[in-house]
């Protein structure tokens, strides 16, 4: 080891629990209080980004509370005109508290956790009680066994995104564990009332599926839209002015039988169950199903098909691999403007590739998506000396031409692979530029933007005079004040999960061992400033001037990454663990360089102190 400079001494102690690294200024050397702890006493004036992080975590909670008190009652029921349907149905109701689980997992007050758990459980009761009159599948309730009775995985994913991230904070909650295993069973042949899966052919039998099983007939507009109602006085987010326009919106959404790339979103349900205790059956199901899809891509020249028939044939007898609603060739008429609009929802399929990578660490799933990007762009054409790239495919071939290469999933491919060559496909991205050392202002600018958005949305909540009986479930979505995307990027070194129902991708995550909860302790801020395949640079600072704070740093959102060593001021110490502990003196901070092996462990939601 190199000698530490006089301004920063490091000494190493070993114990059965692992390495203990003590970092202190020359004037005061603090002994590690527990084995495996780094103590930092070097003063660090609170940087602007650190103050903004703490403000955003603090100000988001009262804003979310006000949102909740405006739009929910004491039971957690959403105060709106309750309806079934893809436009303004159950999925939108649950979306109203998007990003609240991430907010708590980052370190916001426990109050946000209590609110969203109340809302989640309340709305499950609310939508179990809510029944349709005309739509057959929901006449006995829109939810059954705590899960939507039947929908596609674009809408399932949107409605389930909060549940899918609850494990970050409440993995031990009995009702969460019960639901995680039950929901997985809907897609693993474990529930006879939900025969969604064909275990022989490794396919989900319909694009519309749920706790009452798959739809094995053509869908009608009524199935998608919900019971008739008088639209007058409501604000329909898609612009419809009459119920007839609602129906017209879904006239072409008839083909739903057979497997579909949207169903890759269902893999998160066995994934949630696997994260609880690493039971092999859940991992095996994910691998089997995803490998079946890789085989279909291989049959289809590297491009994922959107239609697989019930016999397992890609495209069915007619070879229509682009078929079915929301598929590669789906461009229905928008009744509001009378124009055809491309509604290929392939980005939602990324969820399955992500889950397969998490449970296996195998880059073949990343390779498959990368190869598809290249295969689509290989279909480019030249018109008038200008190159155009397709985004859609129908019976007449490729269409939906754009001037830029197709790059759906390019950011995820780079993040999962960390190959420099994959950055070329990503294009302009402020966060990525920051990580590459080219956008130093990004943290402060992006955090201030999010703070401004919290204030702006809270103002919209206060100015909303719409009575509950004239609110649709999706009317409040744009007023939800939770803003976590920048915090996920900067604190976790992560990709914001988005609306697809995916799990969290993060290079690091933090826990408070004093309060025994997820998230950074009070006063602590973190900034991940560099990422590559085997290295992460993070700054940790205690902005408080009175109390020391202790934080556990974990490799990965689900402890999937191995932390090999930590380096500070030229001195390197071996860790060889999934996590380590840092004690920050008042007003202290430091920049740490971590060496890592990514995807080295089975992912888990078990908290660090329960793994050792």
H-run or E-run covering 204: strand 203-204
In the structure encoding, which two tokens stand for residue 146, read together? Answer: 């705590």
pLDDT of residue 568: 82
Bridge partners of 581?
37, 552
Greatest Cα-to-Cα distance within the chain, rounded to the nearest angstrom: 78
Q: Which residue ranges make up each domain of the chain?
A: 1-9+34-46+502-513+533-561+569-612
Report residue 391 CA to chain centroid gap: 24
Examine the pLDDT at 2 and tell me if it is beyond 80: no
Examine the pLDDT at 9 and tell me if it is beyond 90: no
pLDDT of residue 572: 87
Secondary structure percentages of the chain, helix, strand, coil, to 5: 35, 20, 45
**Would you place residue 573 in the very low, low, confident or very high pLDDT band (cuts 50, 70, 90)?**
confident
Output DSSP code: residue 579: E
3-state class of 389 per DSSP?
A: strand
Out of 35-49, 156-170, 291-305, 340-354, pick the least confident: 35-49
The average pLDDT across 305-310 equals 98
Output DSSP code: residue 65: H
Bridge partners of 340?
333
The average pLDDT across 582-590 equals 96
Examine the pLDDT at 12 and tell me if it is beyond 50: no
Examine the pLDDT at 14 and tell me if it is beyond 90: no
**CA angle (403, 424, 489) in 5-degree steps:** 105
In the structure encoding, which two tokens stand for residue 459, read together? Answer: 């103002």
If one counts every other C-beta atom within 10 angstroms of the C-beta of residue 243, the result is 17
The average pLDDT across 126-131 equals 98
Examine the pLDDT at 594 and tell me if it is beyond 80: yes
pLDDT of residue 571: 81
Exposure letters 411-446 (e unless 16+ CB within 10 A, then b):
bbbbbbbbeeebbebbeebbbbebbeeebeebbebb
Q: Give 168-201 pLDDT, tens digit per residue.
A: 999 999 999 999 999 999 999 999 999 999 999 9
In the structure encoding, which two tokens stand for residue 439, read together? Answer: 């956008």
> Are 577 and 18 within 8 A, CB to CB?
yes
Q: Give 420-471 pLDDT, tens digit per residue.
A: 999 999 999 999 999 999 999 999 999 999 999 999 999 999 999 999 999 9
If one counts every other C-beta atom within 10 angstroms of the C-beta of residue 395, the result is 9
Q: What percent of the chain lies above the pLDDT cut of 90? A: 91
Q: What percent of the chain lies above the pLDDT cut of 70? A: 94
pLDDT of residue 154: 97
**Would you place residue 30 in the very low, low, confident or very high pLDDT band (cuts 50, 70, 90)?**
very low
Q: Give 383-416 pLDDT, tens digit per residue.
A: 999 999 999 999 999 999 999 999 999 999 999 9
**Residues 511, 151: Cα–Cα separation, whole Å:** 36
Q: Give 512-538 pLDDT, tens digit per residue.
A: 999 999 999 999 999 999 999 999 999
> Are 476 and 460 within 8 A, CB to CB?
no
**Would you place residue 7 in the very low, low, confident or very high pLDDT band (cuts 50, 70, 90)?**
very low
If one counts every other C-beta atom within 10 angstroms of the C-beta of residue 573, the result is 19
Listed residue (474, 500, 498, 483) closest to 94, CA to CA = 474
- Alpha helix locations (H) across 350-476? 350-360, 364-377, 410-417, 423-426, 430-435, 442-463
Q: Give 534-549 pLDDT, tens digit per residue.
A: 999 999 999 999 999 9
Output DSSP code: residue 214: -
**CA angle (238, 240, 243) in 5-degree steps:** 130
pLDDT of residue 36: 63
Q: Residue 181: CB partners within 8 Å, gap ≥ 6? A: 273, 276
- 68-71 long-range contacts (CB < 8 A, ≥24 apart) are 68/97, 68/115, 68/119, 70/461, 70/464, 71/96, 71/471, 71/476
- Alpha helix locations (H) across 226-331? 243-249, 268-277, 280-299
């Amino acid at each position: 080891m190199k000698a530490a400079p006089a301004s920063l001494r490091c000494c190493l102690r070993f114990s059965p629990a692992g390495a203990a690294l003590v970092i202190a200024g020359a004037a005061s050397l603090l002994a590690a209080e527990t084995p495996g702890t780094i103590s930092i006493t070097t003063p660090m004036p609170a940087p602007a980004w650190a103050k903004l992080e703490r403000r955003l975590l603090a100000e988001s909670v009262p804003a979310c509370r006000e949102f909740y008190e405006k739009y929910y009652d004491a039971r957690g029921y959403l105060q709106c005109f309750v309806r079934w349907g893809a436009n303004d149905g159950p999925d939108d109701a649950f979306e109203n508290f998007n990003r609240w689980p991430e907010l708590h997992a980052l370190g916001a007050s426990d109050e946000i956790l209590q609110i969203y758990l109340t809302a989640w459980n309340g709305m499950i009761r609310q939508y179990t009680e809510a029944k349709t009159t005309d739509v057959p599948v929901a006449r006995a309730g829109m939810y059954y066994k705590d899960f939507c009775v039947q929908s596609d995985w674009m809408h399932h994913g949107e409605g389930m995104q909060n549940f899918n991230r609850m494990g970050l904070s409440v993995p031990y909650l009995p009702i969460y564990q019960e639901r995680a295993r039950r929901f997985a069973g809907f897609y693993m042949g474990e529930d006879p009332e939900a025969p969604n899966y064909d275990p022989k052919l490794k396919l989900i039998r319909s694009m519309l599926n749920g706790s009452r099983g798959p739809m094995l007939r053509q869908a009608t507009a009524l199935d998608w839209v919900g019971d008739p109602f008088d639209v007058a006085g409501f604000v329909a987010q898609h612009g419809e002015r009459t119920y007839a326009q609602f129906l017209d919106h879904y006239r072409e959404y008839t083909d739903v039988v057979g497997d579909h790339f949207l169903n890759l979103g269902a893999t998160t349900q066995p994934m949630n169950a696997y994260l609880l205790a690493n039971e092999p059956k859940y991992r095996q199901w994910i691998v089997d199903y995803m490998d079946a899809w890789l085989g279909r891509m291989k049959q289809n020249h590297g491009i994922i098909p959107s239609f697989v028939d019930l016999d397992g044939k890609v495209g069915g007898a007619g070879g229509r691999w682009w078929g079915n609603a929301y598929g590669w060739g789906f461009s229905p008429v928008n009744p509001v403007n009378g124009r055809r609009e491309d509604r290929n929802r392939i980005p939602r399929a990324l969820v399955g590739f992500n889950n397969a990578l998490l449970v296996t660490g195998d880059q073949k799933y990343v390779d498959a998506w990368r190869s598809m990007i290249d295969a689509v762009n290989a279909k480019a054409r030249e018109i008038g000396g200008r190159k155009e790239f397709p985004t859609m495919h129908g019976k007449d071939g490729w269409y939906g031409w754009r001037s830029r290469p197709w790059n759906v999933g390019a950011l995820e491919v780079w993040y999962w692979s960390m190959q420099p060559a994959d950055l070329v496909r990503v294009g302009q991205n402020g966060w990525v530029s920051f990580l590459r050392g080219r956008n130093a202002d990004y943290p402060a600018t992006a955090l201030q933007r999010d703070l401004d958005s919290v204030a702006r949305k809270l103002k919209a909540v206060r100015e909303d005079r719409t009575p509950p009986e004239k609110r649709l479930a999706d009317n409040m979505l744009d007023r939800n004040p939770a803003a976590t995307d920048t915090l996920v990027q900067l604190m976790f070194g992560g990709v914001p999960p988005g609306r697809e129902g995916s799990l969290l991708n993060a290079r690091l995550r933090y826990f408070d061992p004093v309060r025994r909860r997820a998230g950074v302790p009070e006063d602590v801020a973190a900034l991940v400033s560099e990422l590559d395949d085997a290295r992460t640079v993070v700054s940790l600072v205690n902005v408080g001037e009175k109390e020391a704070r202790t934080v556990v740093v974990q490799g990965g959102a689900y402890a999937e990454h191995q932390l090999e060593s930590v380096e500070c001021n030229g001195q390197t110490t071996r860790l060889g663990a999934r996590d380590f502990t840092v004690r920050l003196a008042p007003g202290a901070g430091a920049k740490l360089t971590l060496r890592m092996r990514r995807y080295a462990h089975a992912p888990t939601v078990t908290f660090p102190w329960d793994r050792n």
